[in-house]
């Protein structure tokens, strides 16, 4: 890299733009080019201010002593550069900070503060590198995460149901994750409720990006294709994409007037129905292969009726508990689910916290009729 190119990258950074060039009868070829950044003025002003501020600490320490201008003063300057600047510009601020830090050594060695500065500098470089990886700079990345979380929160809700019907949704991401790979899509039209509970393999943030993308697609399919074509359409979409992650789903089609429903299961834990008359939970026999594995697959539906006092429970395998096999895990959940009946189906979140696998995402959907 030439000196002029290095200066350009520092003073006039650009944004990578992906383009796909192709010709008649030829496959598309991906490439990138650098487009001028739209916030050059802000970038240049911030770089100038931080660099001057970093360079000023050394002379101030010489003039007034480290009591008035200690080396640790450089820490917020370095950290701000890591949050708001790009990697080449961060390097300039770090170089200016290093000059000032060395200057303060001649006044009074503050080895503990210098050690802290080294750690802060490493953190700033790590932040800049992480933001460069996604192409989002400054604090916009945090805002984007908040918007994504709000979008998932809105998606994972069931519309208000008519009188005599209740619903609860409880989702818990893996520890340390903002959101996970379990999601719900639903649609209420007149007196017909359709919903699908989906589990993307992986956990936490590792699966969240796939879950967010699929939630929009699956939600669109739920609203645009007949109920019997929902799982096949989802399967076709995943096969076209070449999805490498395992995706399981359970689809419910419920008539809120009569209580008649059908369920279809694609590699997912079975739906369980609570019968108010006998006070027992009964798992559905609906079963089928996971989505995106092979084409020309049929997922048979199993029907039933929800009477007064009955309920349906949909879960993901994060509720199995650590190292539990499906049969044992399901028995455990159905045993714990009796507490839901005693408390009027209102403590769904409590059940998830009590039985879930703390190393995986978990979800539980409950619909009941009174």
DSSP for residue 162: P
In the chain, which ranges are continuous DSSP H helix?
3-11, 40-64, 74-84, 87-107, 111-134, 140-155, 205-224, 230-241, 326-336, 338-342, 348-355
Give the model confidence (pLDDT) of 126-138 as tens digits: 888 877 766 566 5
Q: Would you state the pLDDT for residue 87?
A: 85
Nearest to 69 by CA among 83, 81, 55: 55
Average confidence (pLDDT) per 10 residues, the chain, 370 residues = 74 64 59 58 88 93 89 93 88 94 88 91 87 62 65 80 88 72 90 93 73 88 93 93 85 96 94 89 91 90 93 85 66 77 64 62 87
Q: How far apart are CA 95 and CA 288, in angstroms?
A: 60
Cβ-contact 263, 301 below 8 angstroms: yes
Q: Would you state the pLDDT for residue 110?
A: 85
Q: How far apart are CA 252 and CA 194, in angstroms?
A: 6
Q: What share of the chain is helix, strand, coil (3-state, %, to 5)?
A: 45, 20, 30
Q: How far apart are CA 105 and CA 298, in angstroms?
A: 74
pTM: 0.70
Query: 3-state class of 304 per DSSP?
Result: strand
| C-alpha radius of gyration, the chain, whole number | 28
Q: What are the angstrom distances between the C-alpha of 64 and each of 55, 71, 96, 110, 313?
A: 15, 13, 19, 15, 71
Give the model confidence (pLDDT) of 283-324 as tens digits: 999 999 999 898 888 899 999 999 998 999 998 887 775 555
Helices 87-107 + 74-84 axis angle, to 10: 170
Helices 111-134 + 87-107 axis angle, to 10: 180
Q: Would you state the pLDDT for residue 255?
A: 96
Cβ-contact 251, 232 below 8 angstroms: no
Cβ-contact 366, 187 below 8 angstroms: no
Burial 54-65 (b: 16+ CB within 10 A, else e): bbebbebbeeee
Nearest to 243 by CA among 268, 262, 218: 218
Query: 3-state class of 287 per DSSP?
Result: coil
Neighbouring CB atoms inside 10 A of 110's CB total 18
């Amino acid at each position: 890299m030439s000196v002029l190119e290095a200066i350009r990258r520092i003073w006039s950074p650009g944004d990578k733009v992906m383009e796909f060039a192709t010709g008649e009868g030829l496959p598309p070829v991906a490439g990138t080019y650098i487009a001028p950044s739209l916030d050059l003025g802000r970038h240049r002003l911030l770089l100038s201010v931080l660099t001057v501020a970093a360079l000023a600490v050394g002379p101030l320490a010489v003039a007034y002593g480290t009591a008035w201008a200690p080396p640790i003063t450089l820490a917020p300057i370095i950290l701000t550069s890591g949050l708001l600047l790009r990697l080449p510009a961060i390097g300039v601020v770090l170089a200016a900070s290093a000059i000032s830090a060395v200057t303060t050594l001649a006044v009074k060695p503050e080895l503990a503060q210098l050690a802290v500065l080294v750690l802060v500098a490493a953190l700033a470089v790590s932040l800049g590198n992480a933001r460069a990886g996604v192409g989002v700079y400054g604090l916009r990345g945090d805002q984007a995460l908040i918007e994504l979380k709000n979008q998932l929160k809105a998606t994972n809700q069931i519309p208000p149901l008519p009188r005599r019907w209740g619903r609860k949704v409880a989702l818990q991401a893996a520890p340390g994750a903002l959101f996970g790979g379990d999601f719900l899509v639903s649609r209420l039209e007149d007196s017909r409720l359709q919903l699908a509970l989906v589990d993307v393999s992986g956990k936490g943030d590792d699966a969240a990006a796939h879950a967010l993308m699929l939630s929009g697609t699956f939600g669109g399919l739920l609203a645009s294709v007949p109920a019997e074509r929902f799982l096949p359409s989802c399967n076709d979409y995943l096969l076209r994409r070449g999805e490498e992650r395992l995706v399981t789903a359970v689809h419910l089609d419920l008539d809120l007037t009569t209580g008649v429903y059908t369920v279809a299961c694609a590699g997912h834990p079975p739906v369980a129905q609570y019968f108010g008359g006998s006070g027992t939970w009964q798992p559905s026999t609906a079963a089928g292969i996971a989505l995106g594995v092979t084409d020309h697959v049929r997922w048979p539906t199993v029907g039933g009726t929800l009477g007064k006092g009955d309920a349906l429970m949909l879960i993901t395998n994060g509720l199995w508990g650590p190292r539990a096999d499906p049969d044992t895990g399901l028995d455990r959940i159905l045993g714990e689910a009796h507490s839901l009946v005693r408390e009027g189906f209102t403590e769904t979140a409590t059940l998830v916290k009590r039985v879930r696998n703390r190393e995986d995402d978990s979800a539980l959907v409950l619909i009941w009729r009174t």
